[in-house]
């Protein structure tokens, strides 16, 4: 069985404060480097024509209206079109009040 040793750093003395300051600076530097790499990656993806974000749903508004006129519920319409209830409801709300 392996034992782990716990090292406690006291920040009340000068050496502890110095160590804490150095570790904090290194952590902040690493965080800044990660942020730069992510920003550069997103910029590069956009420059190469990559579309970012959630894809738009392509639910036909006319088909929703047609099925609604037939008396189907929004949940039935969503199941038939393979879309979510919220998507169907949002598309229907953009055309007229339910």
Is the model's pLDDT at 8 over the cut of 60?
yes
pLDDT score at 95: 62
Span 18-42, pLDDT tens digits: 988 999 999 999 999 999 999 999 9
Dig out the tokens for 76 from the structure: 């039935």
H helical segments located in the chain:
14-47, 61-69, 74-81, 85-95
pLDDT score at 37: 98
Please provide the average confidence, as pLDDT, over all residues in the chain. 86
Residues whose CB is less than 8 angstroms from the CB of residue 98 and which lie 6 or more positions away in sequence, other chains included: 74, 89, 92
Span 45-60, pLDDT tens digits: 999 999 999 887 788 8
């Amino acid at each position: 069985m392996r034992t782990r040793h716990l090292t406690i750093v006291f920040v009340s003395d000068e050496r502890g404060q110095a160590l804490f300051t150095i570790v904090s600076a290194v952590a902040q530097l690493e965080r800044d480097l990660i942020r730069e790499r992510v920003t550069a990656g997103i910029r590069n993806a956009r420059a190469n024509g990559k579309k970012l974000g959630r894809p738009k749903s392509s639910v036909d508004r006319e088909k929703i209206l047609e099925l609604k006129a037939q008396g189907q519920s929004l949940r039935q319409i969503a199941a038939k079109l393979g879309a979510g209830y919220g998507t169907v409801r949002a598309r229907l709300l953009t055309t007229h009040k339910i």
